[in-house]
Amino acid sequence: MLRTPALNFALAAALAGFALAALSPGLLNDSDTYWHIRAGEWMVAHGAVLRADVFSYTAAGAPWHTQEWLSEIAMALGWRGGWAGIHLLFAAAAAVTAGVTAWFVRARVDFVPALLAVVLGLACVTGSLLARPHMLTLPLLAIWTAGLAGAREKNQAPSCWLIAVMPLWANLHGSFAFGLALAGALAIEAVIADRKAALGWGIFLAGATLSCLATPFGISGLLFPFKLSAMQGLGHIGEWQASDFSQVSPFAIALLTALFVMGSGKLKVPAIRLLILLGLVWLALSHGRHQMLLGVVAPILLAPSLAKAWPARNESFKPLLAALAAGGFAALILVRLALPVVRGDDPISPVTALAHVPRFVRETPVLNDYAFGGYLIWNGDKPFIDSRADLYGDIFLQNYAAMTAPDKDALAAALTFYHVRWTIFAREAPVVKLLDATPGWRRLYADKLAVVHVRD
């Protein structure tokens, strides 16, 4: 059913999401962006999906499961418009995510509680507002969750058209596994409410699961997200670490607000749905990267309960506001294209330091900072390591963590085994001081961001 009163609200939310992603410099603050674009360019140029590493020297030729191949191609095509093109690609994804979430909530809930739910929820996504494949799947997460929640409202199995979301999602990012898990949890809720629902939901889940096999990797693509999440070495990576509450964050504010509303007694959430939400909170607490899942899914799942306490009022659709929103999108696109995106030295881009390394040195083996791996790939240099954790594996990640801790023996062994001729690390990295004191090594260059050492 088309609920026009919610369209104004959804358009406003979509415009806000688009503006945030289109104009935020922080969108490019992740080194993954560099190698995702290069991987996409390789696949476009060769007309094939990458299946082995072509970027590093430590894992050269090793099997590489490019689960996000379709996202990488989209990013490579977006890059043809420069960094502005990347901004616009991800701004479109942010706009659809915000619009779908806002529409579903506002169609059921009064303005003020709907505004609070959507703003607090989507604010939890801002920490993951980065030019990486997961952002391109958030619109699918919103559509998928809204479709499931809408089916539960009608006490029906989800529509067959919703299954079409899954194969697209499975080729964009491994988070499709969460979508299947969410559908399974809501299926349990449906069956508990009415046992006759088991057949419809069972057929839907079977169809959705089978559709995920429509990737270049088949059954291994279906199993890959579970293998990745089981890696022990992920604990050394920031986004896989527990959420940080040492500073005020949107996630912390959202949790406190939810506790206050729940404690008031006015909001009553069914038991199974409450367990789903608690599971999402646990995921977000355990791994900071999962805050975005909670931010999109929670407002949609809570909307029916919010509607019982604060039902939406009848309002008329305002075409003028829709026209203003359309004008706003057009203006933002023009502004983004007109403003140049200048990349310089930043925590993931040692531009000046790398420029001071002679080409003949850069062609020899390097030991690099984890955060610099993407930038090295971007510039055609083969890194020791980058953020493709699944490619390198647990043992390699653990050894790297040891040598950069720094462990003197582990570092010496790595420098010898890999015939390392130069290193590049963040200035504050603990291993820099050890390299300073290591016989046979000297500083070639140092600035406020990075330090380069070379073997004498």
Paired with 52 in beta bridges are 63
Rounded distance, CA 263 to CA 139, Å?
31
* C-alpha torsion sign, points 253, 121, 5, 12: positive
- The values of phi and psi at residue 52, to 5°, are -145, 155
Do 289 and 239 contact (CB within 8 A), yes or no? yes
Q: Which residues contact 263 (CB under 8 A, 6 or more apart)?
A: none
Cis peptide before 350 (omega within 30 of 0): no
Contacts by residues 316-319 (CB-CB < 8 Å, ≥ 24 positions apart): 316/4, 316/5, 317/4, 317/5, 317/7, 317/8, 318/8
CB-CB contact of 58 with 385 (8 Å):
yes
CA distance 170 to 174: 6
**Phi/psi-derived region of residue 82, left when phi > 0, alpha when psi is between -120 and 50, beta in every other case:** left
What does the CA dihedral 16, 22, 24, 29 come to, rounded to 10 degrees? Answer: 130
**Which of 142, 135, 136 is CA-nearest to residue 121?**
142
Distance of CA 177 to the CA centre of its chain: 14
Q: What is the pTM of this model?
A: 0.93
| Residue 366, SS3 per DSSP | strand
Phi (first) and psi of residue 367, to 5 degrees:
-110, 115
- In order along its 456 residues, the chain shows pLDDT tens digits of 445 568 889 999 999 999 999 999 999 999 999 999 999 999 999 999 999 999 999 999 999 999 999 999 999 999 999 999 999 999 999 999 999 999 999 999 999 999 999 999 999 999 889 999 999 999 999 999 999 999 999 999 999 999 999 999 999 999 999 999 999 999 999 999 999 999 999 999 999 999 999 999 999 988 888 887 777 777 667 776 778 777 788 888 888 888 888 777 788 888 999 999 999 999 989 888 889 999 999 999 999 999 999 998 876 667 777 788 889 999 999 999 999 998 999 999 999 999 999 999 999 999 999 999 999 999 999 999 999 999 999 999 999 999 999 999 999 999 999 999 999 999 999 999 999 999 999 999 999 999 999 998
- Using alpha carbons only, what angle is made at residue 232 by residues 229 and 234, rounded to the nearest 5 degrees? 65
Q: How many CA atoms lie within 13 A of 89 on its CB side?
A: 28
- Give the per-residue pLDDT at 369: 97
pLDDT in tens, 90-131: 999 999 999 999 999 999 999 999 999 999 999 999 988 999
Q: Are 317 and 8 in contact (CB under 8 A)?
A: yes
Are the C-beta atoms of residues 422 and 357 closer than 8 Å to each other? yes
